[in-house]
A = this chain, B = another copy of it.
Amino acid sequence: MATRRRTTQRIEVSSGRGVFMISVAAELADMHPQTLRMYEARGLIEPKRSPKGTRLYSQEDVERLRRIQEMTAELGMNLAGVERVFELELELERSQRRMEALERRAEKIRAEMEAELERVRRQFRAEIVRYVAPGPLVRAGKVPRFGLRARRGDAGDGPTAG
């Protein structure tokens, strides 16, 4: 029998699910429970509620609380500023997502046109070969040796001795 591991275990929980009651969330965010209630009253955070009315904070809620804590405690911002920063961050995120979409679209168009170009070139070569094929009937000396190659200069094909 293998020895039982006694290390701390992480419990997998979807990050949006309400799992922490206020005292736990407050401790995780390093805040006073009353402060959390205040933030909720100001619309900065919206924990779920149990059927009995107890607040239930999700992992995401705790992240958000930590972000608020950072802005207020470390940067000295007030709550109005926190609200505005959240708004701007949303805008910035949207802008970056638009940019990524734009990049993907541009790449798609580029690839499509590249393919089309290749298709046309291929067809081009095929057609050249097709009409050259009959051979003997075409005037001698006018026949390019290797498809397009001969167009370059139209001169004889022997090595030009110096």
Contacts and interface: CB of A to CB of B under 8 A. Distances in A.
A138 B139 CA distance: 10
A89 interface: yes
A32 interface: no
Dominant secondary structure at the A interface? helix
Contact of A92 (B76, B88, B120, B139): B88
6 tightest CB-CB pairs across the interface, nearest first?
A81-B81, A106-B106, A131-B131, A76-B80, A113-B113, A77-B81
Interface of A: 71, 75-78, 80-82, 84-85, 88-89, 91-92, 95-96, 98-99, 102-103, 105-106, 109-110, 113-114, 116-117, 120-121, 123-124, 127-128, 131-132, 134, 137-139, 142, 148
